[in-house]
Amino acid sequence: MTKHKYFVLDTNVLLHNADSLTSFADNSVVLPMTVIEELDGFKRQNDELGRNARHVIRQLDRLRALGTLKDGVAMDNGGSLQITVEKRDMPGALLDMSVADNRILAVANSLHEEGKEVIFVSKDINARLKADALGIAVMDFEKQKCNADDLYTGWRQVSVPGELIDRFYKDKALETEGFHFYHNEFILLQDETNPKHSGLGRATGPETLTHLNSESDHAWNINARSKEQRMALELLLNPEISLVTLIGQAGTGKTLLALAAGLECVIHKENYERLLVSRPIIPMGKDIGYLPGTKDEKLTLWMQPIFDNLTYLMRHNQKKDDDANVQQKVDQLLKTKQVELEALTYIRGRSIPRQFVIVDEAQNLTPHEVKTIISRAGEHTKMVFTGDPQQIDNPYLDSSSNGLSYAVERLKGHGIFGHITLSKSERSPLSAIAADFL
């Protein structure tokens, strides 16, 4: 028989995922009073943290109506929830009990000393280290995590007989047997006897390949510089693929390709009414109020990387233009609302129809935040998420738990989703050696 466990949750777990209260079926969830006090401090914030805090508090209030939280209230998942109100300390542990994390640890330590099987759950590495030093079992909150080392790349190489490749070129499509492809996965067919004899196709079914669209090898006068960039453009320019994720280190061209495809689809092809570009302001969705100036001036400062790419694209499109004309064209795009820059803080609650949406630096979003953004998509909207899971600023996310990686693993195989991992830096030789060796 499995021993009953007591999961003591840190505040950051509840702020990361408001439904974490119900994630420990058939066991006891224990919330120290310090956690309730910290939730109270977050509940007034108009961001994801505030929304999660309010959601948790409402859940606790509903449970309170079913019994006494001090003694523990049964939950629908077979477990129970308890809020500890008594004062607990750790004599001899030499920890400052004025620190909130230490008071939370004191509750876990007290239960541990009573002989209960206690697990301290926290997104904070330092808090987990302290708990481990006290002899308490620890864990990160692992719901909505994936294996970053085996993350779906969006393409693979397959060795096949040469005649199969010849048939693929002749028929423009190929029905295979014995393979299982993900929808919109790219397959590089390579001759078993001659590696130079190859063919590149996109899967339209588990065993079906089709040729790439010859008109999708460039966008806004930007040509693909590698096979991975070519695959990315195939996804970005295909109106039947509504959601695209691009992962790559700095300089691989993920943001530039997304912007070029967005301009192409909005201005040249007129598939969408406008191009909407957004970035997380700072980790955990905080506001931009700390920046000086008006909202537009704040956004200009934070969106400077996007402006740099737009300026490059406009200059690349009209090489003879001087800097003043290029800047005038960028300003005109913004003035006419063909291109709109917006903070993610203001996207929640909106309905976004017929737009090409780019969310840059998406590795700093939680799985819940990515879900919230995608759910804003209206009819005929395409969404593109770009980022590098190895460059995360959010202190409670890593390469396995961020929303971008989670979306890639959860959505692979769906007909309206496509993904490519870009591995080669194309920005400059200097950028490439910095990415590879520093």
> Where is pLDDT greater, at 190 or 49?
190
> Where is pLDDT greater, at 263 or 179?
263
Q: Helices 227-236 and 254-263 meet at what angle, rounded to 10?
A: 40
The answer on pLDDT for 138 being more than 90 is yes
The answer on pLDDT for 287 being more than 90 is no
The answer on pLDDT for 403 being more than 90 is yes
The answer on pLDDT for 60 being more than 60 is yes
| pLDDT tier, 295 (very low <50, low <70, confident <90, very high otherwise) | low
The answer on pLDDT for 283 being more than 90 is no
Q: What is the pLDDT of residues 28-46, one digit of tens each?
A: 999 999 999 999 999 998 7
**What local confidence, expressed as pLDDT, does residue 39 receive?**
96
Span 403-424, average pLDDT: 95
Assigned fold of 222-437: Rossmann fold (3.40.50)
**What local confidence, expressed as pLDDT, does residue 319 receive?**
57
Question: What CATH architecture does domain 5-139 belong to?
Answer: 3-Layer(aba) Sandwich (3.40)
| pLDDT tier, 282 (very low <50, low <70, confident <90, very high otherwise) | low
The answer on pLDDT for 48 being more than 50 is yes
Q: Global pTM?
A: 0.82
* Pairwise CA distance, residues 262 & 110, whole Å: 57
Span 376-386, average pLDDT: 94
Q: What is the pLDDT of residues 3-25, one digit of tens each?
A: 899 999 999 999 988 889 999 98
Across 391-400, b (16+ Cβ under 10 Å) vs e yields ebebebbbbb
Span 93-110, average pLDDT: 88
Contact in structure between 69 and 63 (CB atoms under 8 Å): yes
* Pairwise CA distance, residues 434 & 438, whole Å: 5
Structural domain spans, the chain: 5-139, 222-437
Across 172-187, b (16+ Cβ under 10 Å) vs e yields eebebeeeebbbbbbb
- Full DSSP string of 27-81: SEEEEEHHHHHHHHHHTT-SSHHHHHHHHHHHHHHHHHTTS-TTT-EE-TTS-EE
| pLDDT tier, 279 (very low <50, low <70, confident <90, very high otherwise) | confident
The answer on pLDDT for 303 being more than 60 is yes
- Full DSSP string of 315-357: HHHSTT--HHHHHHHHHHHHHTTSEEEEEGGGTTT--B-SEEE
DSSP β-ladder status, 382-387 and 355-359:
parallel
Q: What is the pLDDT of residues 309-333, one digit of tens each?
A: 888 898 866 655 567 788 888 889 8
> Where is pLDDT greater, at 402 or 95?
402
Q: What is the pLDDT of residues 335-373, one digit of tens each?
A: 899 999 887 777 766 788 999 999 999 999 988 889 989
In whole angstroms, how far apart are CA 167 and each of 128, 164, 173, 196, 284? 57, 5, 8, 16, 51
The answer on pLDDT for 242 being more than 70 is yes
**What local confidence, expressed as pLDDT, does residue 240 receive?**
96
Q: What is the pLDDT of residues 139-192, one digit of tens each?
A: 998 777 788 889 999 999 999 999 999 999 999 889 888 889 999 999 999 999
Contact in structure between 296 and 312 (CB atoms under 8 Å): no
**H helices, E strands: number in the chain:** 14, 19
Instruction: Check for a shared fold between 5-139 and 222-437.
Output: yes
**What local confidence, expressed as pLDDT, does residue 331 receive?**
86
- Full DSSP string of 131-142: HHHTT-EEE---
Contact in structure between 345 and 283 (CB atoms under 8 Å): no
Q: Is the dihedral of CA 322, 325, 328, 330 positive or negative?
A: negative
Return the percentage of the chain with pLDDT > 90, whole number: 62
| pLDDT tier, 285 (very low <50, low <70, confident <90, very high otherwise) | very low
In whole angstroms, how far apart are CA 89 and each of 100, 229, 251? 12, 57, 51
**What local confidence, expressed as pLDDT, does residue 256 receive?**
95
**What local confidence, expressed as pLDDT, does residue 144 receive?**
74
DSSP β-ladder status, 198-205 and 218-219:
unpaired
The answer on pLDDT for 241 being more than 70 is yes
C-alpha triplet 137, 398, 55: angle, nearest 5°? 75
> Where is pLDDT greater, at 78 or 300?
78
Give the residues across from 119 on adjacent strands: 7, 137
